[in-house]
Structure 1
């Protein structure tokens, strides 16, 4: 804790000021967590302080490419003058994301994270499914019996939301089941299990960022029409490809208003895709 505080003081992480009249300070505490790598091996105990979080953005303009070793070294030297930094070598694992390097490019996956989710779910079978959601499924808030304890449902859906960082193929399915975290039913639970069995089948699927592609940005969008049986709203889905083959952004989201025609709903989808 002393080392952590010393590092914060050294880098001037905050300014000490007087508390405004009538205001109360936000309390904080130290939380210790064992950090592990992709193989489950403990690295070091990391302490973090929970309380008021301040995010900052630092901008420095440099033209650096992935194979510009001198430029990368220069950037590191500039950063180390202002921040406490350690050289950890080639990136292999970070916040549940596994990174592999090859002549083709960079491969990102979350296979270990998926394994953790499957253990949390306590699935008693080995069944796998080839799709993330049943065809033409329409869930409502009144489907069947409400779960007596929705804790596991909410935990799994939260984990699945984080998984969509890499797994764009489950974005829509997770969008559907996340709408019922307040009061999930047995039908919604079956939908979550469906996603998990699909992940079991595709656990080692990766996202590739190739090393060579043309400088071209393109986007694709799609939409249903009145797919939500509760409020008749439509769902937009889109994805962006940069440098031809690199998938960099995607989203599945319910439109804010009800569209009166298939033409209108398509225009709304294209508008949200190209703001």
Structure 2
């Protein structure tokens, strides 16, 4: 279910002109605000004391920044507990690793979900985690408990297929000893499976979305219950992923 290796993290590398003294406090404020947002992303819901401690900020500073972020809709404050707000959620969901990926995937994903009666996800691998860009569920199907979550461990089916096909340079940390054999099997069949490894009652088939050259640009995953045969979904998923890759190539 779920993440591309083509995206990189923006860094301050010293190549830009040094900021003026007047700009330094502003950069400090932004650093504190993003530290709080990152802490909220990890915790999902937290109080002021825990957030200030996690970010190394004085409580007064953390409170002021959180209130400003709340005014902007980036953070929600519910009875002293903070979480990511709707405005930031909408902005974040606009991200994609390459232009036109979402539009290219939208119609084929809907068709696949409708034909198979499943939930279909489009995912990339980013900073060692599986990041889901979109979910599509057939109209008469109850979606699995994943649609409100966008970040998952790398070892989802989507993450595994991207790691296996993209090389070892991805920042994943130590890999399990069984991984080389599993990665070889994924490369041979072009598909990764998740049989309730991440969520109980949820199984997944994932295939790569090909790029014109180089590693896959994303993974397409099909979520279903344990009663379905994952291998039977794989071929339909591969055809859909190929259609997305072809459409993406025409749009570039």
In the superposition, the TM-score normalised over structure 2's length comes to 0.28
Q: More helix per residue: 1 or 2?
A: 2
* Larger Cα-atom Rg: 1
With a CA cutoff of 8 Å and minimum separation of 6, indicate the structure with the bigger relative contact order: 2
In the superposition, the TM-score normalised over structure 1's length comes to 0.26
